[in-house]
Amino acid sequence: MSTYDKVTNRQPTMQDLQRDPVGIGRQAGYQIPEGIGNNPQAIFRHLMQTGQITNPMMQRLLPLMQRMGLR
């Protein structure tokens, strides 16, 4: 998130999420390990396996994942 975004309190866009999924996830408070890369599928898998997101939460995230080209 840029300084402008922090000052204006702008919400991340889909483009922001696609460009920097790890950064956006960490800003949201998720613990994402170094070295996972910007692979959204690996990030979602890690969050599920570590219990940071639950299955009901994942169901709500499915439309977002599909817009990112994930299944």
Determine the angle formed by the axes of helices 55-67 and 40-49, rounding to 10 degrees.
180
CB 30 within 8 A of CB 46: no
If one counts every other C-beta atom within 10 angstroms of the C-beta of residue 43, the result is 20
pLDDT in tens, the chain (71 residues): 555 555 556 788 888 888 888 988 898 899 999 889 888 889 888 999 999 998 888 888 888 777 777 66
* Structural domain range at position 60: 3-67
What is the model's pTM? Answer: 0.70
* Pairwise CA distance, residues 16 & 1, whole Å: 8
CA 55 → CA 10, 13, 59, distances in Å?
28, 24, 6
State the pLDDT at residue 46: 93
